[in-house]
Structure 1
Amino acid sequence: MSHDAAMSVQHPQDIDQGHVVARYVSNERRYLKLLGGGFLRLGEAERAAFIAALRADALQVSPEEIGALLGYEWRSRLTAAWLVGVARRIEWRERVGELLLASELTYAGQGYCFALAQFGGKNDAEILVSYLDRYLPHLECRYDQGLALGALLRLDSRLGTSHAERFAVRDGLWERWVDALPHTRGTADAWADASRSRIDAWCNLWDA
């Protein structure tokens, strides 16, 4: 998907990082296991191995490798966002925020919302607020609004803030966005709770 002016997409080979996709993204089909938090549905031993490998890579991946991944297609961006989120590499906050607000590519936004929730600061909450202000009014657009609200709810609970309240009030932006589709009408509260639970499930693993 692309609904803002597209940010440049560059193949990692063009910047001498041609190894990064095979190393971090497609190895063991990692991106598929990250997609939608699919790794949580793995068996216990396989999930533990996946988590350990992701944690190790998150700690050792270089800035140049992260930059190459974030500059490429959705699988690479999704994976890179998880890597910086797991290790809480907050120096990537601005770039992650730019990519979320541009919202160019399907699925990558899942990773951006996770990363911002992991970073856990007031600046991350402000990015999520900006995203929701921009995209909730577009009732026909089904991008990452749900996970963004879930991430913001998590940050509010941790920061003692209440940024999500103005979106979630009766007949507010969130309810109108949810109610825009017949099959989700009337589920605004349940969807908000489910989105928060999903983000919590992804983030709580790394606090252990």
Structure 2
Amino acid sequence: MRHVRSDPEPQELVRRFVTPDRRYLRLGGGLIRLSPVERAAFVRDLAQAAHEITPAELGILFEGGWRERKSAAWLVAVAHRTEFRDLIGRLLLASEGPYAGAAYCVALAEFGTAADADLLSSYLDHYLSRPDLAYDQAVVLGTLLHLDGTLGSEYATRFLAPGGPWDRWLEVRAVSTVGPQYCRQIVHHLCAFVDETAEALASLDSES
């Protein structure tokens, strides 16, 4: 992991792509609550960032902390940079820090292939067997449900079977948690936002 405060290159990238208008905090569920005017401005700015950033610069952001990784994952989703699929899958499975997992899920949902469903399934195979760990199980399962709807597949079925991995994880956890169906709805709305931003990006690319 590169340390932003002691490395001038990541510092400049954070200034350009992570912190403008507290972008790293607004990327996520809060986007759904934006007013039409706020949404249009945010779409425009995020599309511009996705247009400007290079693959090498994205790679540097992915070496940073959760703020950098979260922002990079969203920019990757908007630009549909599937070359980062495996890296995002590894970062999701590693769960090295908080707050970025949902952003990885949005990127994989946007890529929208069986390969992405496999990465989400690998995460669930590992973390639903660890009830002592509460990371991104619900949002990952919700994302898998979203992909099942897109692909016409049934990847999530084995996890949600009565008495299956999800039920067992919940039973041992013995605490309330947001359900995967709710997370599926959130992922659906976030993907709609990404699609809207990707259209704005396409307009910028055509003007270049």
CA contact (8 A) 2:31 2:190 kept: no
Unaligned runs of 5+ in 2: 197-208
Equivalent position to 1:23, from 16, 19, 23: 16
- CA offset at residue 94 of structure 1? 0.8
Letter in 1 for 2:185: S
Q: Quick one: higher RCO (CA 8 Å, sep 6+), 1 or 2?
A: 2
Equivalent position to 1:193, from 155, 169, 181: 181
SS of 2:15's equivalent?
helix
SS of 2:133's equivalent?
coil
- CA offset at residue 55 of structure 1? 2.0
Letter in 2 for 1:125: A
Residue 114 in structure 1 maps to residue 102 in structure 2? no
CA distance in 2, matches of 1:86, 1:180: 37
Q: In the alignment, what sits opposite 1:171?
A: 163
Q: In the alignment, what sits opposite 1:82?
A: 74
Equivalent position to 1:32, from 25, 31, 34: 25
Superposition RMSD in Å: 1.8
Q: In the alignment, what sits opposite 1:207?
A: 195
Q: In the alignment, what sits opposite 1:48?
A: 40
CA contact (8 A) 1:20 1:65 kept: yes
- CA offset at residue 15 of structure 1? 7.8
SS of 1:16's equivalent?
helix
Unaligned runs of 5+ in 1: 1-8
Paired residue total: 195
Q: In the alignment, what sits opposite 2:53?
A: 61
Percent identity (aligned): 45
SS of 1:105's equivalent?
coil
CA distance in 2, matches of 1:98, 1:122: 16
CA distance in 1, matches of 2:158, 2:87: 26
Letter in 2 for 1:52: R
CA distance in 1, matches of 2:61, 2:170: 32
Alignment CA distance shift 1:32-1:17 (3 Å): closer
- CA offset at residue 206 of structure 1? 3.1
CA distance in 2, matches of 1:72, 1:199: 24
Q: In the alignment, what sits opposite 2:203?
A: none
- CA offset at residue 59 of structure 1? 2.9
Alignment CA distance shift 1:16-1:183 (3 Å): closer
Letter in 2 for 1:24: F
CA contact (8 A) 1:15 1:68 kept: no
CA distance in 2, matches of 1:181, 1:162: 25
